Amino acid sequence: MQPLLSELVTAVSHVLLGKDQQVKLAIACLIGRGHLLIEDLPGMGKTTLAHCLGKVLGLDYQRVQFTSDLLPADILGAAVFDKQQSTFNFHPGPIFTQLLLADEINRSTPKTQSALLEAMEEGQVSIEGETRQLPTPFFVIATQNPTSQSGTFMLPESQLDRFLMRLSLGYPDQQSERLLLQGIDPRSRINEMQPVLTHQQLQSLQQQVTLVRCSDPLLDYLQKLVTFTREDGRFTYGLSPRGALAWLSAAKAWALLADRDYVIPEDIQAVAPAVLGHRVRGDEVEQGHEHNNLIDYLLASVAVI
């Protein structure tokens, strides 16, 4: 498996320079059958990453720009009256694709957001009483502006939970930026990219993720971590069982990326920021503690063995 996956990573990293970790996490997220939320400032390469992933995975790709007046029908599609045949024809919305890039998802109203998120969860949409199956595989890569920008609707916790991971790309380092500046426009590179995986290969990869083994000491560790989030006073609320499951499957995908068929604590730790970042919330304490980052605090507090 390793060659295929490393080829995948290399291909994407070739376009998105200096972001190996994020690329790997994104791929782990997708082969772990999860949706991805990217939170960053504009122009950091969110779209590039999404586009790139769509290309190399050989998936159909659609992009929706979310705005405050976007309606559910704008995403899901609507029945349009056909004058010639005097019937309603269904015009599928952009959601009917294999990879959907939902740009600036927190700019739209909660109503629209939830329409999308429900579709993400169920893998199908109901329009005017008719249930329509979404294509498989179905991935959503949503981007979100950092919080506290005006005119945004924060995604509620219950909906954030639908995303397996939340990433933030951040600025490239000096070297990567220089390469970026010297090189060709990434967009043109994307157009040149060839799919690395076939549908069958993708599915078999996804299947393999579920087969990755977890030993008892590892599950002990995971449970200790989860319990800690529920008991420790710095956490406003603990991790839900669904969150714990998500964490495990992300760790499994990560293990597979490392060409292992069993999970080790390092996997758990590696995916923790991406998986937990949007799932746990701490007391809004500004300072007075050495671990200002809640996740660091969690990992540092719980003994591995």
Partner 1 sequence: MLNLTNRLFSPIKVLQALFFSWVDIRNPVATTVALNRRNLYIFPSLTGLCVFTLSSILWLLGTSYQNNLVLALSYLLVSLMMVAIFHTYANLAGLTIKVLGVKPVFANETAYFSLQLSAAQHKHYENLTIRWWQGEAACFDLQPGQVLPIQVALDAQKRGILTPGKLLIESRFPLGVIRCWTWVNLQTSAVVFPRPLKVPFPVQLGCGNAGEHGTGGQGMEDFDGLKVYRPGDPIKHIAWKHYAREKGLYSKQYSAQLHQDCWLDWQDFAHFEVEQRLSAICYWVLHFERTQQPYGLIMPDTQIKPAIGEQHRLTVLTLLARFNLARGV
Partner 2 sequence: MHTPQDIFQQQQLIRHDNLLWLLIAQGVVILPLLFQLPLWLWLIWGGALYWRYQIFKGKRPFPNSISKFLISALAIVGLFLNYQGAYGVEAMVGFLVFTFIIKLLELRSRKDGLLIICIGFIAVAAQFLFVQSIWATLYAAFSCVVLITAWKTIYVTRELPVKQKLTGGGLLLLQAIPLMLVMFVVMPRLGPLWHTPLLNQQAQTGFSETLSPGDIGSLVQSTGTAFRVTFLDETTPRQSELYWRGLILDTFDGRTWARQSHLQFAGAPVPNGASQSTVNYEILIEPHRYPWLFSLAEPIKSDTGSVRSRITSEGLLITREPLTTRLQYQVSSIRPRETVYKALSKQQRQQLTALPIGFNPKTVALAESWRQASDSAEEIINKALAFYHQDFHYTLSPPLLGENSVDDFLFSSKQGFCEHFASSFTVLMRAADIPARVVVGYQGGRYDASENYWSIRQADAHAWTEVWLAGIGWLRVDPTSAVAPQRVEQGIDNALQADDRNRVAAGQFSAPQWLTNLRHRFDAANYLWSRWVLSYDAQQQSQLLKQLFGGKEPWRIGLIFLLFLGSLMGAYIVFVIRPKWQARTPLQQALKTFDNTCQQWQVQRENSETIAQFCLRLRGVQPQLDTACERLARLSQAALYDQQQDNQKQLVSALKQFPKE
**Closest approach of Cβ 124 to partner 1, in Å?**
20
Query: Out of partner 2, partner 1, none, which partner does residue 264 contact, by CB within 5 to 8 A per kind?
Result: partner 2
Residue 127 bridge partners (DSSP): 130
Beta carbon nearer to partner 1, 153 or 258: 153
Query: Out of partner 2, partner 1, none, which partner does residue 3 contact, by CB within 5 to 8 A per kind?
Result: none
**Closest approach of Cβ 159 to partner 1, in Å?**
19
Among 59, 100, 115, 302, binds partner 2 (CB under 8 A): 302
Other CB atoms within 10 Å distance of the CB of residue 44: 19
How far apart are the C-alpha atoms of 51 and 204, rounded to whole Å?
Answer: 22
**Closest approach of Cβ 116 to partner 1, in Å?**
10
How far apart are the C-alpha atoms of 196 and 7, rounded to whole Å?
Answer: 7
Beta carbon nearer to partner 2, 201 or 269: 269
Among 213, 230, 281, 289, binds partner 2 (CB under 8 A): 213
Which of 219, 71, 242, 224 is closest to 157 using CA atoms? 242
Q: What is the DSSP string of 202-267?
A: HHHHHHHHHH-B--HHHHHHHHHHHHHHHH-TTEEE---HHHHHHHHHHHHHHHHHTT-SB--HHH
**Closest approach of Cβ 73 to partner 1, in Å?**
8
Asked if 28 and 167 touch (Cβ cutoff 8 Å), the reply is: no
How far apart are the C-alpha atoms of 193 and 104, rounded to whole Å?
Answer: 25
User: For 233, what's the count of Cα atoms within 13 Å in the CB-facing half-sphere?
Assistant: 2
Of the candidate spans 47-55, 79-87, 215-223, 239-247, the one that interacts with partner 2 by CB under 8 A turns out to be 215-223
Beta carbon nearer to partner 1, 102 or 248: 102
Query: Out of partner 2, partner 1, none, which partner does residue 192 contact, by CB within 5 to 8 A per kind?
Result: none
**Closest approach of Cβ 69 to partner 1, in Å?**
5
Report the site for partner 2 in 246-275 (rule: CB under 8 A). 262-266, 269
Asked if 299 and 265 touch (Cβ cutoff 8 Å), the reply is: no
Site residues (vs partner 1, CB under 8 A) = 62-67, 69-71, 73-75, 93-94, 103, 148-151, 231-234, 283-291
Asked if 203 and 249 touch (Cβ cutoff 8 Å), the reply is: no
Is 195 an interacting residue with respect to partner 2 (CB under 8 A)? no
Pairing of the two strands 61-65 and 99-103: parallel
Residues engaged in binding partner 2 (CB under 8 A): 213, 215-218, 262-266, 269, 299-305
